[in-house]
Amino acid sequence: MTAFLLLFALSAADLKPFPEWNDQTVLRLLTQSPWSHPRNVKFEWHKRDRTKVDLSEIPGTSGPGSGPMIKGGSPVGGIGVPKMSLPPDADILIRWNSALPIRQATALYKIRDEKRDPSSLNALIGAAGDDYALEIFGLPAVIAHQGTGTLEVLATQGITLRSPSGRKISPARAVAKLTGLTVNLTVFFPRTAAIDIRERYLDVDVEFQVFHFTERFSLRDMAYLGHLEM
C-alpha cells in the first residue's frame, strides 16, 4: 500500500461487508472518511497581536527534533510535514481511532502492509475501550522540543468537544508520541459523557500555543452497522 493519498471522501454507504475491503477502501477510511478528516493547519510563531515572542518559550522551536522535515509516511502512523524547521503549516489527519470501522481498517492495513498473520485480525481490531480516542497525526516534531509531556498537558487543556447545544466535553487524558519527524497526539474523552447521534454534529476545538482550529464531524455520517461509531 502507498503513502498518504488524498482521495474523495468515503461514506458508510460505500462500504462492502467487512473484511471484503480492498486496499483503496482501507486507505480512504483511514485518510478521508466520516471518521478521518485531512486538513491543513497554519502555525503562528508570533503572538496573535503580531508581537514577536521568545521562541524558546514556545514548544517545538529549538532543540532536538527541530531539523529539516520530509514528506510522506503511513496513514496509520503520520503524514507529511513541510521541509523546514519552523514550518508555516502542516498537513494532518484528525481521526476517531476508537471507531470500529477505523479499527477494522487499521487491522487490515497492518496485515497487508506489514505482512502479518491474517489469523491476528480480531486481535488487531481489539475492543473499543472505555474512552473515545481522537488522534491527530502528522504534527511536526519541532513542536515537541520541550518533551511530549508538555504536549499532553496542552492537549488536555486545549482540546475540547462541543455539541450544537453548547455542551462541552473535556479530555480525560492525552498521549503524545514521536514518530520519526512527526508527533502524534491521542486525546481520550470518557464514554460516560455519552454522545447522541441526534445532536447532528460534533466540533473538535483545538487551541494550542502555536496553532488553533475547529474540525466538525457529522454524527449522522458516522453511523455504522446501525449505530454511532466513535
Burial class (CB in 10 A: 0-12, 13-18, 19+), 32: buried
Distance between alpha carbon 117 and the CA centroid of its chain, in Å?
A: 27
Question: 131: Cβ–Cβ under 8 A, 6 or more apart, which residues?
Answer: 98, 172, 188, 189, 190, 191
Q: What pLDDT shows up at residue 18?
A: 95
Q: What pLDDT shows up at residue 91?
A: 96
Determine the residue type at 51: T
Contact 174, 186 (CB under 8 A): yes
Q: What pLDDT shows up at residue 57?
A: 45
Q: What pLDDT shows up at residue 13?
A: 77
Q: What pLDDT shows up at residue 10?
A: 78
Q: What pLDDT shows up at residue 36?
A: 97
Tell me whether strands 227-228 and 223-224 are parallel, antiparallel or unpaired: antiparallel
What is the rounded distance in angstroms from the CA atom of residue 61 to the CA atom of residue 47? 14
Output the tens digit of pLDDT for each of the chain's 230 residues.
333 444 456 777 778 999 999 999 999 999 999 999 999 999 987 654 444 444 444 343 343 333 333 333 444 443 333 344 688 999 999 999 999 999 999 999 999 999 999 999 999 999 999 999 999 999 999 888 889 999 999 999 999 999 999 999 999 999 999 988 899 999 999 999 989 999 999 999 999 989 999 999 999 999 999 999 99
Domain boundaries, the chain: 12-228
Inter-CA distances, 45 with 48, 89, 159, Å: 9, 11, 19
Rounded to 10 degrees, what is the CA torsion of 30, 33, 34, 40?
90
Q: What pLDDT shows up at residue 14?
A: 79
pTM attached to this predicted model: 0.80
Q: What pLDDT shows up at residue 80?
A: 36
Q: What pLDDT shows up at residue 49?
A: 47
